[in-house]
């Protein structure tokens, strides 16, 4: 028996670009084949349990606005109702994946033993629902930032008891992710950072975080979890400074602690913007290091300057993100998670479904534009041409020579470089032909 929450909303279908039905896909046809692969298999969309079902509509100035039948989530009955509603929405949208934090799916009990018990109970319940559903788990994660116990960090907390609580919590979430067949496990350290350097021992905190992550990887192998461990960069918010600042910082951290072949990155559009980067920059940096794992596809408001977690709606931005993802070979275990929430005034079930329709449509449109650019090859040709000087043997051999040898050659051949155009506007115009 459906709950009635989505009453009046039919299964969302692909109707094509000429459709004016706001509750239909215009670009996302899961079965459309692009570069030899179905769109659904390229994009691997996931619904975020926290924003879509747990979040109650509060902001820093006001309380809940949504008043869903399963809010507030303080008992297991409502946790189960929330799961029922979630799976109803997955079905309506044909969602291939979902993601959760422990705190989104079970009520907070205030102590570890009871948190563990309710997590096991609710993940058994979700597991039963998955038996008759085609929606799978993209990733699970532990919320180690909301409860007051985490206020000074989780693995970086000066109090060893909090480190212990964090280790036990991640173990329980990794177990639950494994039980549900999750394809990845994410760690985002919202409180792994500091409010002030004055009370912070940076070296100790980073060493603890590095050891903690190594223990996560050791445990993953012990239980035979085949998914990917992902860390999610974000420069700040809620902490003033977060150690996983951006992709480049995470790459350095993973190398320092010997994790470069074990851990990849979950990159979020809004976090890239907060770090002062474009999303495609973060993706390209991770891809260059072989550490591109998964993405959280949500934008920020460009004026308000904080993490507003809105659904994507900008085709050119999304297209460039997928261009660098496709160029890196596409997702393996990763996917496109909508770490996005409807606005506080968007009260209706219809708003929640329409937000996902729009996000999926924009991503499909962006991916198709990206694939067209790859197939056309214009950007790749321009790159090859720009670096073609390095194909000459005397150029390539320079990298294995020395400053003295190169200096001698500059004198002997009278090398005097002629500046050449970077062709930025021409390339930007090229991209605009596709988006």
Nearer to ligand XUL, 234 or 277 (CB): 234
Nearer to ligand XUL, 174 or 374 (CB): 174
- Asked whether position 296 contacts Co ion by CB under 5 A, the answer is yes
Sign of CA dihedral 328, 287, 94, 22: negative
Q: Which positions from 316 through 345 interact with ligand XUL, judged by CB under 6 A?
A: 339
Q: Among the residues of 139-241, which ranges form H helices?
A: 160-179, 202-223
What is the closest distance, in whole angstroms, from the C-beta atom of residue 250 to ligand XUL in the complex? 14
From the list Co ion, ligand XUL, none, partner contacted by residue 141 (C-beta under 5 to 8 A by kind): ligand XUL
- Please, are residues 333 and 227 in contact by the beta-carbon 8 Å criterion? yes
Nearer to ligand XUL, 39 or 213 (CB): 213
Q: CA-to-CA distance for 124 and 280, rounded, in angstroms?
A: 38
Of 183, 232, 317, 361, which lies in the binding site for ligand XUL, with binding defined by CB under 6 A?
232
What is the closest distance, in whole angstroms, from the C-beta atom of residue 307 to Co ion in the complex? 9
From the list ligand XUL, Co ion, none, partner contacted by residue 175 (C-beta under 5 to 8 A by kind): none
Nearer to ligand XUL, 39 or 102 (CB): 102
Count of chain residues binding ligand XUL (CB under 6 A): 10
The reply to whether 307 belongs to the active site is: no
Q: Is the peptide bond before 72 cis (omega within 30 degrees of 0)?
A: yes
Q: Does an H or E element contain 200, and which?
A: none
Nearer to ligand XUL, 25 or 150 (CB): 150
Nearer to ligand XUL, 82 or 234 (CB): 234
Q: CA-to-CA distance for 168 and 164, rounded, in angstroms?
A: 6
Q: CA-to-CA distance for 23 and 304, rounded, in angstroms?
A: 29
Sign of CA dihedral 423, 271, 219, 213: positive
- SS3 breakdown of the chain: % helix, strand, coil, rounded to 5? 50, 10, 40
Q: Which positions from 168 through 197 interact with ligand XUL, judged by CB under 6 A?
A: 186, 188
Look up residue 147 and give its two tokens: 């409860």
Q: Which positions from 292 through 311 interact with ligand XUL, judged by CB under 6 A?
A: 296, 307
What is the closest distance, in whole angstroms, from the C-beta atom of residue 373 to ligand XUL in the complex? 28
Of 52, 118, 141, 239, which lies in the binding site for ligand XUL, with binding defined by CB under 6 A?
141
Of 26, 44, 82, 234, which lies in the binding site for ligand XUL, with binding defined by CB under 6 A?
234
Q: Which positions from 312 through 351 interact with Co ion, judged by CB under 5 A?
A: 339
Nearer to Co ion, 227 or 371 (CB): 227
What is the closest distance, in whole angstroms, from the C-beta atom of residue 308 to Co ion in the complex? 13
Look up residue 237 and give its two tokens: 């918010």
What is the closest distance, in whole angstroms, from the C-beta atom of residue 52 to ligand XUL in the complex? 12
Among 145, 28, 35, smallest CA distance to 94 is for 28
Q: Among the residues of 201-327, which ranges form H helices?
A: 202-223, 247-256, 269-274, 279-288, 315-327
- Please, are residues 362 and 335 in contact by the beta-carbon 8 Å criterion? no
Place of tokens 């600042």: 245
What is the closest distance, in whole angstroms, from the C-beta atom of residue 143 to ligand XUL in the complex? 7
From the list ligand XUL, Co ion, none, partner contacted by residue 307 (C-beta under 5 to 8 A by kind): ligand XUL
From the list ligand XUL, Co ion, none, partner contacted by residue 136 (C-beta under 5 to 8 A by kind): none
What is the closest distance, in whole angstroms, from the C-beta atom of residue 379 to ligand XUL in the complex? 29
State phi, psi for 185 to the nearest 5 degrees: -135, 130
- Spot the catalytic one: 27, 51, 101, 178: 101
Residue 275 burial class via C-beta count within 10 angstroms: exposed 0-12, middle 13-18, buried 19 and up = buried
Place of tokens 């979630």: 86
- Asked whether position 309 contacts Co ion by CB under 5 A, the answer is no
Residue 209, by phi and psi: left (phi above 0), alpha (psi -120 to 50) or beta?
A: alpha
What letter does residue 25 receive in the DSSP assignment?
B
- Please, are residues 275 and 243 in contact by the beta-carbon 8 Å criterion? no
The reply to whether 376 belongs to the active site is: no
Look up residue 298 and give its two tokens: 């949500």
What is the closest distance, in whole angstroms, from the C-beta atom of residue 17 to Co ion in the complex? 30
From the list ligand XUL, Co ion, none, partner contacted by residue 234 (C-beta under 5 to 8 A by kind): ligand XUL
Nearer to ligand XUL, 192 or 296 (CB): 296
Binding residues (CB under 6 A) for ligand XUL: these are 101, 141, 186, 188, 232, 234, 268, 296, 307, 339
**Which amino acids are annotated catalytic?**
101, 104
């Amino acid at each position: 028996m459906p709950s009635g929450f989505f009453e009046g909303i039919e299964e969302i279908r692909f109707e094509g670009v000429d459709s004016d039905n706001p509750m239909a896909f215009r670009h996302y046809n899961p079965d459309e084949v692009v570069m030899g692969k179905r769109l659904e298999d390229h994009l691997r969309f996931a619904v975020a349990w926290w924003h879509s079902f747990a979040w109650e509509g509060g902001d820093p100035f006001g309380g809940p606005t949504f008043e869903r039948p399963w809010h507030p989530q303080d008992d297991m009955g409502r946790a189960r109702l929330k799961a029922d509603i979630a799976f109803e929405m997955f079905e309506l949208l044909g969602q291939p994946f979902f993601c959760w934090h422990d705190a989104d799916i079970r009520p907070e009990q205030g102590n570890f033993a009871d948190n563990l018990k309710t997590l096991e109970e609710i993940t058994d319940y979700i597991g039963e629902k998955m038996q008759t559903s085609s929606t799978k788990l993209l990733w699970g994660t532990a919320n180690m930032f909301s409860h007051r116990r985490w206020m000074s960090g989780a693995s970086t907390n000066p109090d060893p008891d909090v480190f212990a609580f964090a280790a036990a919590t991640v173990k329980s979430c990794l177990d639950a992710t494994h039980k549900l067949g999750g394809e990845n496990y994410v760690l985002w350290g919202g409180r792994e950072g500091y409010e002030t350097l004055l009370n912070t021992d940076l070296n100790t905190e980073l060493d603890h975080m590095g050891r903690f992550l190594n223990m996560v990887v050791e445990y993953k192998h012990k239980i035979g979890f085949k998914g990917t461990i992902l860390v999610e960069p974000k420069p700040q918010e809620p902490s003033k400074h977060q150690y996983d600042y951006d992709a480049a910082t995470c790459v350095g951290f993973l190398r320092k602690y010997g994790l470069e072949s074990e851990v990849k990155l979950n990159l979020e559009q809004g976090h890239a913007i907060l770090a002062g980067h474009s999303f495609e920059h973060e993706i390209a940096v991770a891809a260059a290091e072989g550490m591109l794992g998964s993405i959280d596809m949500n934008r920020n408001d460009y004026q308000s300057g904080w993490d507003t977690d809105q659904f994507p709606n900008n085709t050119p931005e999304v297209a460039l993100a997928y261009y660098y993802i496709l160029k890196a070979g596409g997702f393996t275990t990763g996917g496109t998670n909508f770490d996005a929430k409807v606005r506080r005034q968007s009260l209706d079930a219809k708003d929640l479904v329409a937000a996902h329709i729009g996000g999926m449509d924009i991503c499909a449109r962006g991916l198709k534009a990206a694939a067209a650019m790859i197939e056309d090859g214009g950007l790749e040709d321009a790159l090859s041409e720009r670096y073609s000087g390095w194909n000459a043997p005397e150029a390539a051999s320079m990298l294995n020579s020395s400053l003295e040898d190169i200096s001698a050659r500059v004198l002997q051949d009278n090398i005097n470089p002629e500046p050449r155009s970077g062709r930025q506007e021409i390339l930007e115009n090229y991209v605009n032909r596709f988006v």
